[in-house]
């Protein structure tokens, strides 16, 4: 009679694992990539530009941009076509230019040209959602929150830190278990790990520094999905090859 496979050891609750996870990621990413900025206003503009664009590319754009438009009033009164051309390399430049100018109009007319210091005020500005607001509050005003992008959401579920898919619910779930002083850095470390190791379609678990702390939720499903896809693609290729042979 064959011996049954030894069941995987049960992992501690999320609240107990999040500390060791953060410590290991901190050692792996002591300084994660970020946006270059001088003050809260420049950070706000840079974060809007960073949507679906790398921080590296944004950092190449912003020096000339801020030299041309140094204040929120300059952006509020700018020619939209000129702004579009300056930020074009960031992608989706028409929508970003529209949001940046409207956001700066809001800051000038409602907040004296200054960046609001509360999440409730920030999210009333065009182009500013909770994720953007938390980045600004954490980096510019030392009010750490949890920034939830696609990487943070995906890794949080794989790590069993939450089951939620809604970014706001993921944010509040992480606020419950991540110490306040580590929230901003924890988000950044998850983002870096999601880019480099725990990628969406084929996570590299064999080289992951937190693999023993991770229940790998959903990872087996990804592997099974890849196998099914290979089985489907192989017969299709064979059929195409046969068709070409018969047509000759």
By annotation, the residues acting in catalysis are: 131, 149
Residues present in the chain in total: 248
Interior CA angle at 181 toward 178 and 182, to 5°?
50
Q: At what angle do helices 183-196 and 14-28 cross, to 10 degrees?
A: 70
Q: Which of 73, 143, 83, 63 shows the shortest CA–CA distance to 104?
A: 73
193-219: b (≥16 Cβ within 10 Å) or e: bbeebbeeeebeeeebebeebbebeee
Residues whose CB falls within 8 Å of the CB of residue 228, separated by 6 or more in sequence, listed in order: none
Residues whose CB falls within 8 Å of the CB of residue 185, separated by 6 or more in sequence, listed in order: 22, 26
DSSP secondary structure, 91-106, as one string: SSHHHHHHHHHHHHHH
Look at the alpha carbons of 168, 172, 174, 179 in this order and tell me if their dihedral is positive or negative. Answer: positive
Instruction: Using alpha carbons, list the distances in angstroms from residue 45 to 40, 75, 99, 120.
Output: 9, 10, 10, 18
Q: Answer yes or no: are the C-beta atoms of 201 and 222 closer than 8 Å.
A: yes
């Amino acid at each position: 009679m064959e011996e049954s496979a030894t069941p995987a050891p049960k992992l501690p609750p999320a609240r107990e694992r999040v500390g060791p996870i953060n410590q290991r990621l901190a050692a792996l990413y002591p300084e994660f990539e970020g946006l270059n900025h001088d003050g809260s206003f420049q950070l706000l503009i840079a974060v809007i530009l960073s949507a679906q664009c790398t921080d590296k590319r944004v950092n190449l754009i912003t020096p000339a941009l801020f030299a041309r438009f140094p204040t929120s009033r300059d952006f509020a009164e700018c020619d939209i076509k000129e702004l579009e051309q300056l930020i074009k390399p960031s992608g989706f430049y028409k929508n970003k230019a529209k949001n940046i100018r409207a956001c700066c109009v809001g800051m000038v007319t409602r907040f004296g040209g200054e960046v609001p210091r509360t999440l409730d005020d920030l999210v009333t500005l065009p182009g500013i959602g909770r994720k953007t607001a938390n980045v600004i509050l954490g980096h510019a005003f030392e009010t750490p929150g949890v920034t939830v992008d696609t990487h943070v959401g995906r890794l949080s579920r794989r790590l069993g830190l939450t089951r939620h898919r809604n970014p706001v619910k993921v944010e509040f779930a992480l606020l419950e278990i991540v110490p306040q002083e580590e929230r901003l850095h924890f988000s950044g470390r998850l983002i870096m790990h999601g880019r480099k190791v725990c990628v969406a379609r084929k996570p590299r678990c064999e080289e992951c520094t937190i693999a023993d702390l991770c229940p790998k939720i959903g990872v087996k499903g990804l592997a099974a999905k890849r196998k099914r896809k290979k089985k489907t693609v192989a017969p299709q290729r064979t059929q195409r090859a046969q068709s070409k042979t018969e047509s000759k």
